[in-house]
Amino acid sequence: MALAPAVTDIEQLKGHPAVARLVGWNRQAVEGVKFDRDEMTIHVERSAIRQASAVLRDDPKCPFNYLSDITCVDWYPSEPRFEVIYHLLSIPNKERVRLKVKLSGETPALDSLTSVWPGANYFEREVFDLFGVRFNGHPYLRRLLMPENWEGHPLRKDYPVEGYR
Amino acid sequence: MILNMGPQHPSTHGVLRLLLEIDGETVVRMMPDIGFLHTGIEKTCEAKFYHQVVPLTDRIDYLCPMTNNLCYALAVEKLLGLEIPPRAQWLRVMMNELTRINSHLVWLGTHAMDIGAMTVFLYCFREREDILRLFEAISGQRMMTSYFRIGGVALEPPLDFFDRVRKFADRFPSKVDEYEGLLTGNPIWMMRTKGVATISAEDAIALGASGPTLRGSGVDIDLRRDMPYTGYENFKFNVPLGKEGDVFDRYLCRVRELRESIAIVQQALDGMPSGPVKADAPKVVLPDREKMKTEMEALIYHFKIVTEGFAVPEGEVYQAVESPRGEMGYYVVSDGSAKPYRVHMRAACLANMQTLPKMCEGRLLADVVAAIGSIDIVLGEIDR
């Protein structure tokens, strides 16, 4: 069971195309990086996520043109409570990168990425439905999986596994 | 007029509700409404040990259960840093490809039946019956096998298993010829599927489509070949591509994938290595049943694993595999305890379904059924 230790030093990881591109575009937007178990994670500042994704999508050397997934993790009771996670794939270069945005517990809100990838639509609706994170600029932010009149956000950690009904 | 293609409908392949705004025969707007099969699997996974999540994963995309098992097992093995022995890897590839054939047979039968070619359905299910008997031989269960476990596979296959698979693999290509003979050159089939529900490559990538839905439009990506896992780098296979992005091209992609999959199964049979089928990690992998009954350490390990689980080092992993529908991914977050902190399933069909409005708006009502069949929708994956 040999696991290499995680690398979190941004200087060492500048070789990765996504890190290089984002650091070159706006160093302030990158709050941290982590390379663990062969996967690159970049912590992006909340207000910069939409532009950062557009920059990564249009990068000429390694275009991360495919949005694989948007999801969320609830770290209740620690703050910042929510972490919205974006998984990007570069189809020409076969590279993956994970972008993370940390949000606080009261009124978690974020810019929607539907203007960058129309495919973000259902993923963001699901995160809104199950966690309560609002996406500004989403064309139709309604519940996706739960019934329309459901109260509460089931995947939050303070929602019981057995449910209320 | 707004027409409700309700959750109960023979052609929607599951509980999918489509709200169609139609003007005569033309679909002006389409809005899918999902969530009828939502069972809260992601929430349930947080309350179970890592090995208890494996049967839950079978039931997410219920037409390719072993592919789900594989994706989850690979994610947790990555978190643990486990090395899987070669025999387990090759067995996984072989059973994964048989699962792919299984899934494509259901797709072909139901898709053809929706469009009107009812005979193909029974032919496909005749082959599927053979494969389900093979699954029953290897794991005891026809569909939800849970055969792939964390650390390898559950059991060594029975002694006559590989002969039975070889007999099936020798027989199968002529059956694919039968299906193609019924459909590919058929003028009615071509008129119903050529030029219908097209989607361009840029739209498909922007909307997040994957698998044959994306390859039918000409985008060359297949995770088995491009980002290989579980030993796929040892196998030679082609990846069929389409050109127009219509229903016919997606049909051809999947039928050719049937042939490629059976070729991979034959390569796996020819080169199957010998050795153990489980990793050497007594704290993670259940010991052999016979050892458990006679040796004290094995009994204790068995007891500990079943009642307390095993702790996984902190971290997170996103593992994606090429399922019959596209990129299926599992995002597993561990906080160092014996239960996963968060398990998220990236369903290929959820993203593929986003292409449906683009394919159907402005086209005829009758083509909606062809479009739904061509993206190979499985609601279990979408709703979880």
Question: CB distance A69–B329 less than 8 Å?
Answer: yes
Question: CB distance B35–A143 less than 8 Å?
Answer: yes
Print pLDDT tens along chain B (384 aa). 888 888 888 777 788 888 999 988 899 989 888 888 898 899 999 999 999 999 999 899 899 999 999 999 999 999 998 889 999 999 999 999 999 999 999 999 999 988 888 889 999 999 999 999 999 999 998 999 889 999 889 889 999 999 999 999 999 999 999 999 989 888 999 998 888 888 999 989 999 899 999 998 988 889 999 889 888 999 999 999 988 888 999 999 999 999 999 999 999 999 999 999 998 888 889 888 888 899 999 999 999 999 998 998 989 999 999 999 999 999 999 998 999 999 999 999 999 999 999 888 888 888 888 898 888 888 888 988
Q: How far is CA A103 from the centre of its chain?
A: 11
pLDDT at position A1 over 60:
no
Question: CB distance A163–B82 less than 8 Å?
Answer: no
Residue B156 forms part of a structural domain: yes
Contacts of A146 in chain B (CB under 8 A): 35, 38
Average pLDDT (A137-144) is 89
Q: Which of B38, B43, B221 shows the shortest C-beta gap to A161?
A: B43
Number of H helices, E strands in chain A: 3, 7
Domain that holds residue B141: 43-383
Residue A142 forms part of a structural domain: no
Give the pairing of strands B148-149 and B152-153: antiparallel
Rounded to two decimals, the pTM is 0.93
Position A2 confidence tier, pLDDT thresholds 50, 70, 90: low
Question: CB distance A144–B35 less than 8 Å?
Answer: yes
Spatial distance between the Cα atoms of B143 and B134, rounded to a whole number of angstroms: 10
Position A61 confidence tier, pLDDT thresholds 50, 70, 90: confident
pLDDT at position A165 over 70:
no
What's residue A72's pLDDT?
92
What angle in degrees, to the nearest 10, is found between the helix axes of B366-374 and B86-115? 170
Cβ-Cβ pairs closer than 8 A, A with B, add up to 103
In 3D space, the residue among B379, B370, B355, B321 whose CA is nearest the CA of residue B209 turns out to be B355
Residue A102 forms part of a structural domain: yes
What angle in degrees, to the nearest 10, is found between the helix axes of B247-270 and B366-374? 20
Spatial distance between the Cα atoms of A163 and B219, rounded to a whole number of angstroms: 43
Contacts of B320 in chain A (CB under 8 A): 68, 96
Residue B360 forms part of a structural domain: yes
Residues ≥6 apart with Cβ < 8 Å to A2 = B81
pLDDT at position A6 over 80:
no
Joined together, the tokens standing for residue B158 give 């029975």
Domain count, chain A: 1
Residue A10 forms part of a structural domain: no
Which residue is listed with tokens 């303070």?
A158
Measured at the CA of B330, the angle between CA B146 and CA A12, to 5 degrees, comes to 135
Domain that holds residue A116: 17-136
Question: CB distance B320–A144 less than 8 Å?
Answer: no
Question: CB distance B281–A96 less than 8 Å?
Answer: no
SS3 B343: strand
Residue B17 Cα, gap to closest chain A Cα (Å): 12
Residues 340-359 of B with CB under 8 A from A: 341-342, 344, 346, 350-351, 353-354
The overall average pLDDT reported for chain A is 87
Domain containing residue B308: CATH number: 1.10.645.10
Residue A131 forms part of a structural domain: yes
Name the residue of chain B whose CA is nearest to A158's CA: B43
Distances (CA, A) of B97 to A90, B88, B256, B259: 26, 14, 13, 11
What angle in degrees, to the nearest 10, is found between the helix axes of B86-115 and B65-80? 150
Residue B88 forms part of a structural domain: yes
Question: Do the beta carbons of residue A101 and residue A133 sit within 8 Å?
Answer: no
Spatial distance between the Cα atoms of B92 and B234, rounded to a whole number of angstroms: 13
Q: Which of B44, B82, B346 shows the shortest C-beta gap to A68?
A: B346
Joined together, the tokens standing for residue B144 give 């939800």
Residue B35 forms part of a structural domain: no
Spatial distance between the Cα atoms of A41 and A32, rounded to a whole number of angstroms: 8
Residue B34 forms part of a structural domain: no
Spatial distance between the Cα atoms of A148 and A135, rounded to a whole number of angstroms: 18
Instruction: Classify burial at A60, counting beta carbons within 10 Å of its beta carbon; exposed 0-12, middle 13-18, buried 19 or more.
Output: exposed
Residue B334 forms part of a structural domain: yes
* Integer Rg of chain A from CA: 17
Position A161 confidence tier, pLDDT thresholds 50, 70, 90: confident
Which residue is listed with tokens 């009642």?
B307
Residue B20 forms part of a structural domain: no
Residue to test with chain A: of B79, B354, B358, B377, most A Cβ within 10 A: B354
Residue A146 Cα, gap to closest chain B Cα (Å): 6
Question: CB distance B209–A85 less than 8 Å?
Answer: no
